[in-house]
A and B are shown apart, each in its own frame.
Chain A
Amino acid sequence: MTPPRIELKSSPHMKQASSVEQIMRNVVLALLPVCGFAVYHFGISALALMATTTLVCVLTEQLFTRLSGKPSTISDYSAVITGLLLALTLPPAFPLWMAALSGFFAISLGKMLFGGLGFNPFNPALIGRAFATAAFPEASSTWTQAGLPERFSEFLPSTLALPFTTPASVDAYTTATPLGDWKFGDVHAPAWDLFTGMTPGSLGETSALIILLAGLYLIARRMLDWRIPAAVLGGAFVTAALFYAVDPDHFPTPWFVLLSGGMMLGAVFMASDMSSSPVTPAGVWIYGLLIGFLAVIIRFFGGLPEGVMYAILLGNAMVPLIERYTQPRTYGKRGRRGV
């Protein structure tokens, strides 16, 4: 009788059925309605933007793993997520060549340089967006109207601008976002329009409703740490409410603050990026509240109307410090009784 082959392994011999791919796949899935709404809203230019950043992000990741001789990691979907998220933060008329460069820097500078998935201290999509803001300030803050009648048949003129040229003037289409209207014109968009997303803005920022639903889906599947969006939105709401209470003529309502610009997208999909957020339970709250607070302060007192991106990047930078002071309390390390 041949003895059975016996397998030796270390406990536990059981695993919860979840994997990195599964989590990331679900994040992509949750992003799809947000992307779909962007296309509905801004047409084929939005589609081209998302396709460009996603493709560039995936190729960049592939290139870097190749160069370093490591196994390919693109199957974990994280580069796809970075590409989609980056596109969602960009204005609809953003030239594709600029988007491609931003995507390249998002992955190379924001992720691969630190060692890839899990090692990046900053959200790569936001690194890409920060690059775009720094390198192409004008294109990064030029907004087009939503729902243009010819949006499904024609690209916005600037979309296809040749690399390293300045796009032709698109004045005919440009408009201000609700945030800009408030900051520079003291006009407050109705909360309902903001909630449903019938406003100009970056691709994925406009519909708070769709982002919330996507977030709830991920939370229900336990693939999103609900505490982070809760803390970011809570922090922003309370901060904004305080200012509004002191001077309601000068500051917008807290609802406006929550529903406008990149607040929802940032809270649900950016601040919650696993790699660049804390792992400690108390740290997660501190980090989220801090981002919410900073976003409002930057919006209210900074030179630009938006502040969410910088607030999250600052929050990312604080993570090591936050974690240091929020390590969980080990069982039996306090309350020595009868010893």
Chain B
Amino acid sequence: MGLLSYLTGLTFPRGVHPPGLKDDTRELPIRRMAFAPRMVLPLDQHFGPAARALVAKNQEVVRGEPIAEAVDDDSVPIHSPVTGTVEGIELMPTARGPKAEAIILRAAPGDSQHVRWVKPQDLAKCSARELIEAIQQAGIVGQGGAAFPTHRKLRVPDKYPVDTLVINGCECEPYLTADHRIMLEYGQDVIAGIRLAMRAVRAEQAIIGVEDDKPEAIAALREHIKADDAISVVEVRSKYPQGSEKMLIKALLDREVPSGCFPYQIGVVVNNIGTMAQIGQLLPRGQGLIERVITVAGPGVEKPGNYIVPIGTPLRYLLESVGYPKDDPSRIILGGPMMGSTVAALDVPVTKSISGVIVLPEGSELDPAPRIQPCIRCGDCVDVCPVGLNPADLARLAAARQYEVMEEEYNLNDCFECGCCSFVCPSNIPLVQYFRIAKSLNRERMS
């Protein structure tokens, strides 16, 4: 890898090059989206035990006020995105599928919607533990979809010294440009957040990995880095899935996280650029997370762009405010087209981990009704799997229902469902889908 990566730029082995499709939104400044009259805040917006509601029906709340609290160390609170009234606490559909308990808020008409609930903190004196606690209290979770609470990622067991904080500024999914805009417009907050996160994990250095197709973002970040910051911005190659945690560690540090382990076990903690901006913005003010930047794009969107969207905004409201085809059957993707999931209903709300909403009306699908054919053993899937799996063999085993062999001999559990294999397969075999099913069947069998 050594010479090759020197010649071609830092990256991980294999992977794919989907078209970027970012031109519609990458030049547009982030805009603020209006408040929906009704907000839905599921209590389980994060990975870990759901938050516990602190409010009751008909209670008045102000924007920024905590309305649900963390139940334990692995949970995070939820803050009210609007000044208004609690309409109720009900079971509501969520993007994940099943209904979940959610607080429903009605915005007070005519309110200025200022954030009233802030508690400025003097972070200079905070210990690492206090910083992590402050991050938990702000309700911050990972931005990319898994919604892992950020404070948990930063809370590393003492026996694992962390030397490097890696910040993921790759944004390798097609269409998405939210991180790109954040780096351009909120570079100062990003760097401030990184300084705090470095203190929280006691890292000696921080490396921001940005794909080489975002030179403006790289320049913007560098402007805010001071000489005594141990922070560097490193250009990595534009390639999918460069933004995945383990691939980024491979590219930047040439270290591999052992299978089944966490990055901190090799001295690394990885966080997203947007998360850093949130930490930098919210912590000094003592404010909770009530909104985030989301890319809304795709051929079905009339006004594509990056929007600051209040958490809890129903998808229907969001789509109506950007214009979308109401009559056509559409595919609506939360996240990017490579790893995002489709939604079944527009009643579901935006939650803390949604990075993009992509609308593909019928006829504009990026994978028009493919006919599935037998595997022709072209080997393309093997050539692109960034994890070094053999998707062709795995698929053969899946067809034979040999799920256990898949796990035990073919490392099925190392598949992180990036979709590179399905992306290239000329036979249109839904490989990732097979692997998802096999994994969940294995989990069922184990439990």
Contacts and interface: CB of A to CB of B under 8 A. Distances in A.
B422 interface: yes
Contacts of A10: 430, 432-433, 436
Interface string B370-403: 1001111111011101111110110000000000
A5 B259 contact: no
B377 to A, nearest CB: 5
Nearest to B268: A338
Nearest to B267: A338
- Say what secondary structure dominates the interface of chain A: loop
B266 A12 contact: no
Given A7-B331, A15-B367, A332-B257, A274 B379 contact: yes
Interface stretch (A92-100, A115-123, A232-240, A303-311): A115-123
Contacts of A116: 374
Contact of B377 (A13, A118, A339): A118
A19 B426 CA distance: 4
A15 B370 contact: yes
- Say what secondary structure dominates the interface of chain B: loop
Contact of A12 (B259, B344, B375, B423): B423
Contacts of B344: 6, 8
A327 interface: yes
Given A13-B331, A20-B427, A117-B374, A328 B340 contact: no
A336 B386 CA distance: 18
Interface in A71-114: 76
A119 B326 contact: no
B280 interface: no
Interface string B224-262: 000000000000000000000010001000011111110
Contact of B259 (A4, A6, A280, A330): A330
Nearest to B339: A11
Contacts, number: 187
B374 A4 contact: no
Contact of B337 (A14, A274, A281): A14
Contact of A4 (B325, B367, B411, B419): B325
Contact of A13 (B267, B340, B343, B436): B340
A254 B170 CA distance: 50
A278 interface: yes
B133 interface: no
Nearest to A116: B374
A288 to B, nearest CB: 13
Interface string A286-314: 00000000000000000000000000000
A279 B392 contact: yes
A9 interface: yes
A239 to B, nearest CB: 25
Contact of A274 (B342, B346, B376, B433): B376
B284 interface: no
B7 interface: no
Contacts of A76: 373
Contacts of A281: 379, 382-383
Contacts of B374: 115-119
Interface of A: 1-16, 18-20, 22-23, 76, 115-119, 225, 274-281, 284, 323, 327-339
Q: Would you list the 10 A-B pairs with minimal beta carbon distance, nearest first?
A: A12-B419, A279-B379, A5-B329, A15-B367, A14-B366, A332-B259, A13-B337, A118-B374, A328-B388, A10-B433
